[in-house]
Amino acid sequence: MPTPPKFERCAPDCPDWLPPDARDMWERTVPELERLDLLKEIDLGVLAAYCLAWDQLVQAVNAYQAQGFTTANKRSGRVTVNPVVATARAAMRDLLTLARELGCTPSAEANLATTMPADDDADDPFSS
């Protein structure tokens, strides 16, 4: 099995420009990923995108809760799905995709467990 590159492990700083809900997600996610020694400085982009996807999801859900799941066309009266529902769905897809990249889904976590060496074997010369 090829050896992965040895990136310096450290958590990037939270960008000042993240909106409040995105910043909250950063503060929930980064310490746990840092504890697992999974973060690198160059992960800033994917982390920011993950947190922004969360922010977009929160904003879209809040909007359709306030406005309703459906909306009526003012001229025709035709009822359609509120456009923010599509925004919420897109944000959910983005969030899930980025969560997988960061190892933050149950299946991604299981994959990490199969690819990371066990701590118990670190000093065992006979472990493979």
Mind listing the pLDDT tens digit for each residue in 6-15?
889 999 999 9
CA distances from 64 to 6, 54, 59, 70, 95 (A): 45, 16, 9, 8, 18
Residue 81 — pLDDT band, cuts 50, 70, 90?
very high
Mean pLDDT of the chain: 89
pTM of the model: 0.82
Residues with Cβ < 8 Å from 102, sequence gap 6 or more? 29, 33, 38, 43, 46, 47, 50, 108
Please report the pLDDT score of residue 94 as a whole number.
98
Res 112 pLDDT > 80: no
Q: How many CB atoms lie within 10 A of CB 75?
A: 6
Q: CA–CA separation, 128 vs 120, rounded Å?
A: 12
